[in-house]
Structure 1
Amino acid sequence: MFTSSDEKHIFALSKTKVFKIPVQSCSEFVTCGWCLFTKDPYCGWCFLEERCSTRDACPANKEWISASSGEQCPHVEDITPTAMSVWEIETLNITVSNVLQGVKVSCLFHSNEIEGDFNHTEKAEVSSDGLSVKCRPTNISAIENKIKGSLEMKIAILANSSTTTIEGKFTIYRCETFVRCLDCTAKNWKCKWCPFSNQCTNRTCDNKSINTTEDCPRTINYTVVANGQDVVHDSDGSVYFSSGRSYTINITGTNLLEPKTTLNSLKYSCKIVVSGTHDVWFNRTYFNHGSLVCFLGKEGLSKITSQKDKLVATVQLMWGGSPVYGVAEQGFSVIIYTCDGLTKPAYNCGHCKSFALYQPHFNCQWCGKACVDSNEICNNTACDDPIITKVYPLSAHMNATTLIEITGVNLGSSFNDTIDSVTVAGKACDSIESGYIPGIK
């Protein structure tokens, strides 16, 4: 194998042929990333012409990045400011990794986060050392009404009208479109939250203003009380509301505002959001020395469950028309139930009584002929005799051990009720706890 005098080719010999082979194949790599990834000592990225080439094939040698040098592709190193308001468009100072001297430079602003892609080109000013660019996105006003909250805007640096992919990004925001204190103050933006009007603005609030997320009102914890006692949660932590009781929710938090007494001023309110149906507002919500108390009478819950035995709902704390940030912002889940609706069938005393042992979060008791809230005064809690509705199988071999299923009504309220209580043809039948369903099987 031999090298040509200009060292651009090598000659390889076989028994019958001589092959002239270029020492490089730079043009095969169409992106800067692939070009530099090869680490080919002959290749480099000629970034003003957007191609992979040898050094001598790149007209401006100083803009050639060697694949073997360990350098990065051309990129934006810094943009200031990183965010700006639609009402205060600023000039961007962009630091680039490669020198842009002696070329015409422009900035292409584009975003696909809004309806109808936005593309806008502005002439750029290059610094004397060629390592920084200044440009101003003057046409942002054309899309300001489409910006809800914030928008990521991309910027591409174009040299000599090429498609040079030196890209960066910054944020455009519109204060008045933020609907939460947390979003309004989350970044180092020129926005402030006006809590007594529930608005974000870049101007001055009429009363108090909030400038940082740490000062936003937020809820921390809640307790639910019925009849002077904390409500029992199930093993998953879910809260259960009986339609036969009234409930008080105590909510603690930080930076909770004391409502003004003037007419039309914002107030706190609690509501139950029932998916797919409607909202039910608590009867009263009042501010109490930095915390909040919400009261809901049983008549409100009975309206919710009039058509169903059990509903999954959410309790939310509102300030005016907006949820308060914290544990109550998304709301905490509650399950609203009726005792008679839970009992299957409704006249199954054993099933109703089993709740106290197996599901104590259901506050139910048997009273006469119905399952009712355990808070009701009742003088007759006795169950009627068991009723058998099905026995399976109806036959068995006399010398075999047979599993028999018995279903019906009032078949005990706990497994212990069935021990030594069942006989078949005068013979005791051993109950199996794993197959027992209180009151039913």
Structure 2
Amino acid sequence: MTTPAARTASTADLHRVVDAVWRMESARIVGALARVTGDVGLAEDLAQDALLAALEQWRDTGVPAKPGAWLMATAKHRAIDTFRRAENLRRKTQELGRELGDAEEPDWAAALDEEVEDDVLRLVFTACHPVLSRDARVALTLRLVGGLTTDEIARAFLVPEKTLAQRIVRAKRTLAAAHVPFETPAGEELAARIGSVLEVLYLVFNEGYSATAGEDWVRPSLCQEAMRLGRILAGLVPDEPEVHGLVALMEIQASRLAARVGRDGEPVLLADQDRARWDHVLVRRGLAALERAESTGTALGPYALQASIAACHARAATFDDTDWVRIAALYEALAALTPSPVVELNRAVAVSRAYGPDAGLALVDRLADVPALRGYHHLPTVRADLLEQLGRREEARAQFEAAALLTRNERERAVLLDRAAACGRGVGE
């Protein structure tokens, strides 16, 4: 006789299996459904129905040998039933019947798989369509392509689950109202639209790499998700150098995640990191992706340039061995390609390492009144660090304190206040 505890354990195991299958298969399933329905919102609803059916049926029958194919077949039948119930969609029902055939036929899943990669790519471009706001693109991509639950996305970005759910619902309605086609753009439009996709992945990764708010300094799960989606995209559009550039950047940066956090979760700055804790498998993968970006023969784009900067750090045995002159030159090239106050601030740091803190401070002071950096805590942080190096400790303390007031990350605030206090102790000694 099965005990309640055994049943609970069995249910928990089933949920873990279903969650894992969903994470791996959801993009394929939603993409295939969106292709035949033309509606990503309806497609996700049908896929979710199939997921609920799996939880109910697999508890009694066990997990099938091909769970992804089972979910796909079930979702397709849900689609057919939905169209049959809709009086004004009888024609579409006939089309679906001809396209899908009998789900019992052994080669049905294989025939569907022939278009899977195209379906996933279409789904990526639809979720990242420029008609949506940046926040909506991020949420919808993680939901539809990443297979994350609304709760998981809400917790990752520290917003209420209800707010996140409404954001996703509005995004689907916006796509429907704008009659956004479920297709992969071509020609010049592809180049323009791929930038929107890369921006979403970069935003997700950065939020994981250096959390803007909350108690945690890093959120590795977000970094992992961004890298997973980036690798998928690189496989779907292998001739796009900037896709490989972004994958390279994320993997090299992610190689340092374990070393970025101390024993108690406190931030560990690059100069103080134990490089033995870096993930050298990720470093090698990132450098290989950078080589693929460089091998296209085209000029490096913003992501590949940033990956080149990250590669300089990855190749240095110690912080002092870093080729700061090359990094400063790469930041100059990046600033010429994509002018930005943030890029200029990063360039100032590199210049200070290559040519001395005075040279870096001169560049930082030029940014003091830039409106885009007002409220950006990294500006007073960098200025404080350079002032401290120059022995101007009282000024440095004030800048560290100002930066602490601006950051929303609790771990970072603690580090900044500690550095301010250390500067204060040095005054007058």
- TM bin, normalised by shorter chain, reads under 0.3
Q: What is the TM-score normalised by the length of structure 1?
A: 0.26
Q: Which has the higher strand share?
A: 1
The one of the two structures with greater contact order (alpha-carbon pairs below 8 A, sep at least 6) is: 2
Q: What is the TM-score normalised by the length of structure 2?
A: 0.27
